[in-house]
Structure 1
Amino acid sequence: MSDVASETSGPDYWFYHLEGSTLEGVLPDLLEKSLSRGWRVLVKLPPDKQKQFDDHLWTFRDDSFIPHGRDDEPMADWQPVLLSSDIKVATGFDIVFLLDGAEVEISEGVSRVMVMINGRSEQDVSRERGRWKALKAINASLAYYQQNERGRWEKRA
């Protein structure tokens, strides 16, 4: 896997296993928390999801939006949250979100990688189990959170 750190001093990998919520339901809150820490955010996702999430981040709440842009638009380097399906190396970001099995090489400076898992897709769960095992084999810093029946995150590992 290309996003696997080569040493243990790399970023923390947090796996978020969605059960009751959708990615569209939880991603805005996680992005807002990241921005409140002053972090620059990369959201790596498949090309067919880029426009969907771009539109969603402008309209998810009537009284707010998340400042963001896409890597195929002007001034991408200035965006606090960047949506990308093309970036190969996460340079200049503090936190990276990986959606739908997306991969990116993690560069120095990235503090955290958030791996979002669709718990309603066995393919997604299986793929991310493989990612977890590969990261564990190199002693990466790992945490696993799963939603409980109330939609709250519980740390499971």
Structure 2
Amino acid sequence: MAVYHSHHAAVPPDQAHAFRQGIHDQVIGVVMFVASAALWIFPMATHDGAKDAQVNEAMLGAFLMFVVGLRMYRGSSWRSDAVVGLAGLWMIVSPYVLGLQETAVDNGSRVLDIAVGCVLVAASLVSLLIVRADRRAEAAEAARRRP
């Protein structure tokens, strides 16, 4: 019976930056893009919820698809992660700010808003942590190269 050793799955040091950058820009970007697309498409497809909630979801979803699309195309920085995180926070609180919690018909819209908001906030936090880890690793590598 073979024993699995974790060092076999390690990324070589010379490829670590590219690996972190790929996860940051592509994998996390796809998660953000899918969440943004769901936010934009789902209310239009179902015609469920209050009109103010649908306008909020459609506008923010379209804006986020643009921001995340640019993020995936050109690479990202902490600014795009902050924009996505703030938009996610807005989606979490928007059902309560817009007063959606008082009508029974809007439960689906509220659940969608909160779920997509949580995904966006979590993805932006993970993305910011990856940027931080990459910067620390690059600084450590630069310090190691100095005499």
- What TM-score results when the alignment is normalised by the length of structure 2? 0.24
Report the structure, 1 or 2, having the larger strand content. 1
**Between structures 1 and 2, the one with greater helix share:** 2
TM-score, normalised to structure 1, is 0.23
Larger radius of gyration: 2
